[in-house]
């Protein structure tokens, strides 16, 4: 998206504006590329040099031979995202609950020792990106839920790549924490993850064709406003592999695919899913707020308009 062209129909940016990524810097010193396009750089996820040469048992990134000699309790659904929802979260579909049952539990219980401290620290920037996204969606819903004469169209800029990688991290966490399940059975007992595909995407930003973050506008573009987050595995049935995850964040639907062995790419297209959207527009009446998602240069501009299904506060 170029600053001199439309970001939305109502927002024009200038290099001397404060950057909409909320860094506090001027746009020209922050996310504005020499080409005139906007890009929020994703964080580096490699641990700092020197490499340790150590593979810590229990760390799902042990094959990189760059671990610390300990494990940390990792929130497989990022704590920052859960905190944006409250102190408890409704959970279901895990193997330790009866089929169809949902239960409110404290967010501190959603942890597992699946990363060494070194890799946990290196990936923490993704938790921050996921938390920023969840908080922004919550604040947009809150603003559209109140009466106001304001018609100002707001924009915040985020790294689509960081959001995509956060969802990949969540998919890996769900599997390696042994909480990915189908029909009450743990998938880790019957399925595998192609680590070369998952880790190339996670640590090197190298994605297989057609893979990445998908989202869609539901029928009528109406989304429910739910103070919840949900994640479920997506499997390549013919290969017995976990190929990605479906996620719902406050009513927004996402599909994260990292393994091209997944058989349903055609259905994504036919059902209106969009790969790597560049803008999410939340509108109610004459008011609107946008989340701009930046990607590598050359990514087609694709905007999705959504109308939260909310009740006005009188």
Average pLDDT on 276-295 reads: 91
Number of structural domains in the chain: 1
Q: What is the dihedral of CA 20, 22, 24, 30, to 10 degrees?
A: -60
* Residue 30 within a domain: no
pLDDT grade for 197, boundaries at 50, 70 and 90: very high
Give the pLDDT confidence score for residue 269 in this predicted structure.
Answer: 85
Most confident of 68-77, 206-215, 262-271, 278-287: 206-215
**pLDDT tens by residue, 33-62:** 998 889 999 999 999 999 999 999 999 999
* Residue 41 within a domain: no
- CB-count burial class (<10 Å; 0-12, 13-18, 19+) for 138: middle
* Residue 212 within a domain: yes
On whether the CB atoms of residues 172 and 234 are closer than 8 A, the answer is no
Identify the CA nearest to 109 among candidates 61, 77, 71, 70: 77
* Residue 190 within a domain: yes
**pLDDT tens by residue, 198-207:** 999 999 999 9
Q: Would you tell me how many other CB atoms lie within 10 Å of the CB of residue 98?
A: 8
Paired with 185 in beta bridges are 182
CA distances in angstroms from 148 to 108, 124, 135, 156, 285, listed in the order given: 37, 37, 21, 20, 11
The rounded mean pLDDT for the chain is 85
Cα(198)–Cα(287) distance, rounded to whole angstroms? 39
Q: Is a pLDDT exceeding 60 seen at residue 4?
A: no
* Residue 248 within a domain: yes
Most confident of 2-16, 49-63, 147-161, 227-241: 49-63
* 225's tokens: 């406003």
For every residue of the chain, DSSP letters joined together read -BTTS-SBTTB---TTSBPTTSSSSBGGGTTB-TTSBB--PPPP-SPPSSP-----TT-TTGGGS---SSEEEEESS-HHHHHTT-SEEEEES-TTS-TT-EEEEEGGGSEEEEEEHHHHHHTHHHHHHHHHHHHHHHHHHHHHTB-------EEEEEEHHHHHHHHHHHHHHHHHTT--EETTEEGGGT-B--HHHHHHHHHH----TT-EEEE---GGGEEE--S-EEEEEEEETTTTEEEEEEEEETTEEEEEE--TT-S-HHHHHHTT-EES-SEEEEEETTEEEEEEEE-STTPPP-EEEEEEE---B-
**pLDDT tens by residue, 120-149:** 999 999 999 998 998 899 889 888 877 766
* Residue 7 within a domain: no
pLDDT grade for 311, boundaries at 50, 70 and 90: low
Domain span holding position 230 = 54-309
On whether the CB atoms of residues 54 and 67 are closer than 8 A, the answer is yes
* Residue 3 within a domain: no
* Residue 169 within a domain: yes
More confident residue, 89 or 37: 37
């Amino acid at each position: 998206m170029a600053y001199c062209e439309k970001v939305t129909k109502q927002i024009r940016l200038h290099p001397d504006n404060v950057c909409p990524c909320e860094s506090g810097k001027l746009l020209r010193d922050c996310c504005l590329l020499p080409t005139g396009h906007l890009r929020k750089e994703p964080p580096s996820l490699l641990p700092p040099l020197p490499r340790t040469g150590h593979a810590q048992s229990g760390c799902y990134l042990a094959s990189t031979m760059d671990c610390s000699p300990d494990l940390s309790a990792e929130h497989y659904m990022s704590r920052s995202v859960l905190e944006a929802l409250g102190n408890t979260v409704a959970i279901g579909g895990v193997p330790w609950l009866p089929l169809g049952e949902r239960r409110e539990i404290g967010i501190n219980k959603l942890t597992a020792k699946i990363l060494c401290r070194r890799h946990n620290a290196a990936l923490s920037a993704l938790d921050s990106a996921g938390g920023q996204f969840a908080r922004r969606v919550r604040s947009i819903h809150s603003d559209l839920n109140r009466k106001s004469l304001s018609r100002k169209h707001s924009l915040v800029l985020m790294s689509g790549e960081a959001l995509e990688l956060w969802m990949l991290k969540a998919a890996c966490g769900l599997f390696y924490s042994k909480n990915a399940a189908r029909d009450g059975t743990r998938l880790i007992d019957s399925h595998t993850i192609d680590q070369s595909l998952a880790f190339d995407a996670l640590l090197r930003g190298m994605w297989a064709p057609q893979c990445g973050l998908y989202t869609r506008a539901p029928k009528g573009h109406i989304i429910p406003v739910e103070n919840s987050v949900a994640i479920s595995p997506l499997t390549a049935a013919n290969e017995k592999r976990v190929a990605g995850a479906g996620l719902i964040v406050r009513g927004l639907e996402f599909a994260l695919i990292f393994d091209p062995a997944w058989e349903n790419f055609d259905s994504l297209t036919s059902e209106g899913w969009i790969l790597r959207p560049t803008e999410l527009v939340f509108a109610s009446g004459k008011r609107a707020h946008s989340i701009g998602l930046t990607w590598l240069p050359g990514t087609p501009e694709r905007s999705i308009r959504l109308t939260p299904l909310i009740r006005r506060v009188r």
